[in-house]
A = this chain, B = another copy of it.
Amino acid sequence: MIIVKIGGNILDNPERLQAFLLDFAQMPGPKVLVHGGGKIASALGQKLGITPKMVEGRRITDAETLDLVTMVYGGLVNKNVVAKLQALGCNAIGLTGADANIIPAQKRPVREIDYGFAGDVAGPESINADALEFMLEAGLTPVFAPLTHDTKGSMLNTNADTIASVLATALAHKYKVQLVYSFEKKGVLQDAADDASVIPYITAGKYKLLKETGVVNAGMVPKLDNAFAALQQGVAQVLICEGEALPSINTRQYSGTTLSLN
């Protein structure tokens, strides 16, 4: 089975989104889509006078921002993606981590920074994988917004990359899972200035070296750390590529980066 995460670079571009959803709808077998937020939330927040709260460069989810992301990610983005997939013959069902209690989380503890309503997922063992498998077996395609809940009545804002990797790991005991992170570049680049310098394979050993030599920069480190953690917990393969590469991922034409343990 396949879990695909898409972010703002696809969501914010109606033509790219439609082309991506067509490719995604046509993929055979059980599949899950996880989407991020994109610029729509910030644009709407601005109209509503909600200024993004940052503390030491980190984004804070205060109560009004939580409402904003619950509306935009859980409502506008999620339901429009579901409606578009339905029109393409893919029996999508839009979910957050609160729905069927699939992803219970904890409000991030306040230490140096109070992140507000940010949700951390304890790990794949806390996922209600049965509910998810049950939908997949019924031929449904879950579409996740980057939201969880605290099991005490509040929604929480959770990173979409994290949701994708924790779902992939939770399903790895039952399925051979491919986890695809769609990316703004064609893959992990050897030279950030050269879009053609995609590194085709990265093993755990090579990743260590790429970090040490600074080839993999700050922004990519959390994503790749996440990816290797998923591989260590049983996910079969992690792919980092452009959204457009989706139809090619199990062919020789695949042009992105494949991560594997060794």
Where the two chains meet, the residues of A that have a C-beta atom closer than 8 Å to any C-beta of B are: 44, 47-49, 67, 70-76, 78-80, 82-84, 86-88, 91-96, 98-101, 131, 134, 138, 140, 147, 149-155
Contacts and interface: CB of A to CB of B under 8 A. Distances in A.
Contact of A101 (B86, B95, B131, B154): B86
Given A74-B75, A154-B83, A96 B98 contact: no
Contacts of A88: 153
Contact of A79 (B44, B82, B92, B98): B98
Given A70-B76, A82-B96, A86-B98, 12 more contacts: A48-B48, A70-B79, A71-B72, A74-B76, A79-B99, A79-B147, A83-B154, A86-B149, A91-B101, A92-B98, A92-B100, A94-B99
B99 A82 contact: yes
A91 B100 contact: yes
**Copies of the polypeptide in the assembly:** 2
A84 B151 CA distance: 8
B83 A153 contact: yes
A19 B138 CA distance: 35
Contacts of A100: 91-93, 140
A76 B140 CA distance: 24
A87 B153 CA distance: 5
A92 B100 CA distance: 6
A84 B87 CA distance: 32
A91 B149 CA distance: 13
Given A48-B47, A138-B134, A155 B80 contact: yes
A87 B152 contact: yes
A149 B83 contact: yes
The 3 A-B residue pairs with the shortest CB-CB distance, nearest first, are: A75-B75, A87-B153, A71-B71
A147 B147 CA distance: 20
A91 to B, nearest CB: 6
15 contacts: A70-B75, A70-B76, A71-B72, A73-B75, A74-B75, A83-B155, A84-B153, A86-B98, A86-B149, A91-B101, A94-B95, A94-B96, A100-B140, A131-B138, A131-B140
B71 A151 contact: no
Contacts of A92: 98-100
Contacts of A93: 95, 99-100
